[in-house]
Amino acid sequence: MTDISVPTANPRLDPQRLAWGVLLLSFALFCVICVVAGVGASYFLFQSTVALDSVMQVGLGTGSISGQAVRAESRVSSGNVVSTDSVSQVTLFFWDSQIENRLIASVTLYGDTSVSFWQAYRPRFSWGSGVYGIELRQFVGKADVFIPAGASWDVRLTLRAGRGDTVFLDNQGSYAVAVSATQLDVTNYQGSASVVPAETSVGRAVPVGNFGRINYDVDASAIRVGTSFANLLGASSFQDALLKPDSGVGSAAPLVADWACSTSDSQPPSYLSTEYRDGRLALRLTRGDNAITSGATGCSKYFGANGVDVRGYNYLGLKAVFNLNFQSLSVCGFVASECPLMLRMDYKDAEGNLRIWYHGFFYLLDTQLNYPLQCDSCSQQHEIIKEKAWYTYDSGNLFSLIPARLRPQEIISLQFYASGHQYDVFVSDISLLAGADNAG
């Protein structure tokens, strides 16, 4: 019997099903591409960031960027370590080059301070959402932070201490931060500040006019908040006292009524005006026209005949932020009385005697003239700082600097002025701080 083989059907895909599968797969792939593209475009347009311009400016001595000495000014990049020695001071400036080089924040590092620059950014486009973000890490030492008003987005400056504690400083304000081996201090003079210890995720706000402190030897997870130094010049800052250049007020009255300002009567005249310098609103004191005679320009704060009583304090300190743009006389003149910037405090001592405390600053030194560095009425030598650079003077405790028998009991007035032949000086801030010496 002959076997008959039956051929099996050749399996084939249904063309209709294949077409639908390809169509659905293509549509799914198209949807994925649209979502990814949409999310990417949305992120790029509204959430992506670009770097701020970041510059270190030396105000005193020599600064360092990752071990390289800097004597004037230099850019800083992510990963750079900025540091100072015991006799130096530098300021980190963060600018928005897309909006008229607007200053976003400045961080002044005092002596023996080190910090790692991590990042500084802004939204890529003007319509973007987000914040100005600045992050500094491995901070050890002492710094002042200034965040001016008028930023296009909120500002958050994050400062991480060497032990891992984090300080958040938000939006317009003025702050001081100090980190040592034994404690962390944050002082909120004006603005919004908070601290989060490394030992816990629970932070604490530091209100205006207060300090926040972590004492590592006691409890590294606890934050003590207390009242900081009072500014005897008033509740508002000197920045608030300055009238903006577009306020419509002439140069004859650049400040509010509680400061009295005057220009020299000698010829050629001197001038007072308010201007923005490196993004900071400042009072400008100038005299030029090739003057070869003495002149003075400045402002004073008068506390009345009886003055303001400081006997209840054990700390009295003076701080000033300024820029010496030009001077024609070497040092402070041949008797050391004409500095391009002089600070003067009139006060009464314990016996009711009227005393005057002076301190001056200069940058021009002609060694051939051999002019003195200290005036006859000065208790300290005048300070030489950098030309055309911002400098923050911090007197420390004047009660410790002035001999006990001459110490202030009542402050009558405080003055700052430029003097000499020709000068050009910017004063951005000044404060007279008093309180308990543990206030911070």
- For the domain that residue 155 is a member of, what is the CATH number? 2.60.120.1440
Same domain, yes or no: 98 and 216: yes
Report the largest interatomic distance among the alpha carbons of the chain, rounded to a whole angstrom.
144
| Phi-psi group of 159: left, alpha or beta (phi > 0 → left; psi -120 to 50 → alpha; rest → beta) | beta
Tokens representing residue 87 in the block: 């006799």
Residue 77 φ/ψ, nearest 5 degrees: -125, 165
**Does residue 324 belong to any structural domain of this protein?**
yes
Contact 47, 130 (CB under 8 A): yes
**Does residue 175 belong to any structural domain of this protein?**
yes
Residue 370 φ/ψ, nearest 5 degrees: 55, 40
Range of the domain at 242: 238-435
pTM of the model: 0.89
**13/304 Cα distance (integer angstroms):** 102
pLDDT tens for the chain, residues 1 to 440: 555 555 555 556 678 777 777 778 887 888 888 787 776 665 555 567 899 999 999 999 999 999 999 999 999 999 999 999 999 999 999 999 999 889 999 999 999 999 999 999 999 887 777 899 999 999 999 999 999 988 889 999 999 998 999 999 998 999 999 999 999 999 999 999 999 999 888 899 999 999 999 999 999 999 999 999 999 998 677 888 887 877 655 544 556 667 888 887 888 999 998 889 998 999 999 999 999 999 999 999 999 888 999 999 999 999 999 999 999 999 999 999 999 999 999 999 999 999 999 999 999 999 999 999 999 988 899 999 999 999 999 999 999 999 888 999 999 999 999 999 999 999 999 999 999 876 55
Same domain, yes or no: 269 and 190: no
Of 201, 197, 203, the residue nearest 219 (C-alpha)? 197
Same domain, yes or no: 265 and 304: yes
Same domain, yes or no: 254 and 223: no
Domain tally for the chain? 2
